[in-house]
């Protein structure tokens, strides 16, 4: 991912927090000479060897999985808030731009066994059911329902490299920076307001 030095995020704790809070990503690989992509949740974790991984699953009917054996190199893309930035918000002439947060994770993928897949599903469901009034638990599902789990491949991606971009108008002086935040907050657009919130964290 091309990222000018000004916008590189090298705060490892912040990057891991971002991945946990924005875990629905795009898994990209090459299968039969073509690029393939699937939108799936991928959860940050540690495997039995103590290595950092992403865990996820895809349908066994998804042809993307055919490419994993031939080439285990994959890219997982995660996006955070983003927004158009109008140059009319500056006190000088300039070009419009876009503010955003994104993380690219490069790694090597493997398909895991059925029991590991089920363990992954339990952790995923528990995470997102935590605030439910009547939380679903994989352990309580019937054998009939759990047979559907036979239709997925559980995945484990051992992480080789993480590239993180946080482009939030860091090149603007305090006056213009504060004005961008103010204008974003006026939009009533959830993405723009989220960008304003992130900008406020970066510069008090």
Cβ–Cβ < 8 Å for 28, 36: yes
12 pLDDT higher than 80:
yes
Q: What is the pLDDT of residues 145-186, one digit of tens each?
A: 999 889 999 999 999 999 999 999 999 999 999 999 999 999
Reported as a pLDDT band with limits 50, 70 and 90, residue 108 is: very high
Cβ–Cβ < 8 Å for 50, 75: no
48 pLDDT higher than 90:
no
What pLDDT is attached to residue 177? Answer: 97
Q: What is the pLDDT of residues 84-103, one digit of tens each?
A: 999 999 999 999 999 999 99
What pLDDT is attached to residue 137? Answer: 93
204 pLDDT higher than 90:
no
What pLDDT is attached to residue 203? Answer: 81
> What residues form DSSP beta bridges with 157?
54, 109
- Domain edges within the chain: 5-170
Cβ–Cβ < 8 Å for 163, 66: no
Rounded Cα distance between 78 and 42, Å, is: 9
**Owner of token pair 């939030």:** 168
CATH number of 5-170: 2.30.110.10
């Amino acid at each position: 991912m091309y990222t000018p030095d000004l916008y590189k995020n090298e705060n490892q704790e912040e990057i891991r927090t971002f991945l946990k809070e924005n875990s629905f990503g795009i898994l990209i690989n090459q299968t039969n000479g073509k690029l393939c992509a699937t939108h799936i949740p991928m959860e940050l974790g540690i495997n039995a060897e103590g290595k950092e991984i992403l865990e996820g699953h895809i349908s066994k009917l998804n042809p993307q999985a055919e490419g994993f054996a031939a080439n285990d190199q994959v890219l997982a893309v995660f996006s955070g808030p983003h927004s158009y930035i109008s140059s009319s918000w500056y006190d000088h002439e300039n070009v419009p731009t876009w503010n955003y947060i994104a993380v690219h994770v490069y790694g090597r993928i493997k398909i895991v066994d059925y029991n590991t897949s089920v363990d992954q599903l339990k952790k995923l469901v528990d995470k997102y059911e935590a605030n439910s009034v009547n939380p679903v638990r994989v352990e309580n599902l019937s054998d009939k329902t759990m047979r559907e789990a036979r239709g997925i491949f559980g995945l484990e991606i051992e992480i080789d490299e993480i590239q993180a971009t946080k482009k939030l108008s860091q090149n603007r002086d305090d006056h213009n920076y504060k004005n961008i935040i103010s204008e974003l907050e006026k939009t009533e657009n959830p993405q723009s307001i989220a960008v304003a919130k992130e900008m406020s964290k970066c510069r008090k």
